[in-house]
Structure 1
Amino acid sequence: MSRALLIVDIQNDFTEHGALAVAGGDAVASAVSAFLEAHAAEYDVIVASRDWHDAQGDNGGHFAESPDFVDTWPSHCVAGSDGAEYDPLLVTDAVTHHVRKGQGEPAYSMFEGTTEDGKTVAGILAGAGVVSADVVGIATDHCVRASALDAIAHGVQVRVLTDLIAGVAAEPSAAALAELAHAGAVLAQSGAA
């Protein structure tokens, strides 16, 4: 039985100066780095995801000139751009697997992505015998929510470390956390990790 840390989309376009800036994104990047420095050895697998959208086209309707910020969004995290890179405050040395998602299509969950050699998150976790995972990252009300729900659906016991996440807006973020708790996730502070 092993344990994983899932780090969701701590990227330049989702932190303070990005195309889809989330307030507190830089603070999450710094806090996750400090957490990794203290706790990385406690995890058998550490997976970090990034949106990695195609430069051409609308990525399956994900990008729009007049986005509704529900199902359509401004251009963000374009593959190879600075916006798609990890926030520089996030130290990724301990990450064992890097996952890219959303290539040509909408993708919120890290489980929709693959590593450069084609591995899926579900395959990585199953191969390592992961039974529990802590989830951190951006954004609580979108990609953190989707990734944690998919982990639960794959039979993983999930803890969301609530001091290591940031959401787009307070109300949908609170609703996402309530949904996750109802689905079986434990909401905890990183000090309890």
Structure 2
Amino acid sequence: MTRALLIVDVQNDFTEGGALGVEGGAKVAAGITSLLQANPGRYDLVMASRDWHHGDDDNGGHFAGASAPDFISTWPVHCVAGTPGAEYHPGLAADAIDVHVRKGQGRPAYSLFEGTTDDGAAPSEALAAAGVDTVDVVGIATDHCVRATALDARRAGLGVRILSDLVAGVAPGPSAAALDELRAAGAVVESSTSGS
């Protein structure tokens, strides 16, 4: 088994104090770092995504603009490329990341699999090149980008485990529903301390 860790959108704008801050986001960043430091060699590949939106347009309708955001498909401006809000949270050990993925870039994108790596490849290509067949998924937000990433990983035929103590969601109800949907899709949901 070749396992990757997929870190989803642990960015300043998605943690406390950010444009779309999620409660518990900073704790997720610190928890992921602790996991990696306590378990060197646990993962054959560490891949992380960041929203990376253009600041000069509505990003394919993703930004609400002059209208009020509905927080379902339209959002306030966030994670604009090159701004502090788009950077990884300082509590995340960015030096442990092997492959960086940028998503958005002028259009709505929720799943890590919708992005591109720094060398322009699809994330699925980078995972395949490394022989990855199983992924652990962590990050922000459970009910949006973590959900989309994990579902795409299952569609790609990968074994998927959501580390429930290393995700944070926008709202409790939708986050619980997302985890139920992921279980129904064949993902395992368990704590990062539940074995390897």
TM superposition score category, shorter chain reference: over 0.9
Q: How does 1:34-183 map to 2 (within 5 A)?
A: 34-65=34-65, 66-183=68-185
Asked if the contact 2:99–2:118 (Cα under 8 Å) also holds between the matched residues in 1, the reply is no
Asked if the contact 2:142–2:175 (Cα under 8 Å) also holds between the matched residues in 1, the reply is yes
Structure 2: how far apart are the matches of 1:157 and 1:46?
16
Asked if the contact 1:40–1:94 (Cα under 8 Å) also holds between the matched residues in 2, the reply is no
Structure 2: how far apart are the matches of 1:112 and 1:189?
26
Structure 1: how far apart are the matches of 2:40 and 2:53?
29
Unaligned runs of 5+ in 2: none
Structure 2: how far apart are the matches of 1:85 and 1:8?
13
Structure 2: how far apart are the matches of 1:40 and 1:87?
21
| 1:26 partner letter | A
| 2:161 partner letter | R
Asked if the contact 2:33–2:91 (Cα under 8 Å) also holds between the matched residues in 1, the reply is yes
Note the C-alpha offset of 1:68: 0.3
| 1:161 partner letter | L
Structure 2: how far apart are the matches of 1:91 and 1:45?
14
Secondary structure of the residue that 1:42 maps to in structure 2?
Answer: coil
Note the C-alpha offset of 1:39: 2.0
Unaligned runs of 5+ in 1: none
Note the C-alpha offset of 1:42: 1.3
* RMSD of Structure 2 on Structure 1 (CA): 0.8
Secondary structure of the residue that 1:124 maps to in structure 2?
Answer: helix
Secondary structure of the residue that 2:96 maps to in structure 1?
Answer: coil
Structure 2: how far apart are the matches of 1:98 and 1:182?
29
Partner of 1:185: 187
Note the C-alpha offset of 1:94: 1.4
Count of residue pairs the alignment pairs up: 193
Partner of 2:21: 21
Secondary structure of the residue that 2:36 maps to in structure 1?
Answer: helix
| 1:10 partner letter | V
Asked if the contact 1:5–1:43 (Cα under 8 Å) also holds between the matched residues in 2, the reply is yes
Structure 2: how far apart are the matches of 1:152 and 1:43?
18
Note the C-alpha offset of 1:92: 1.4
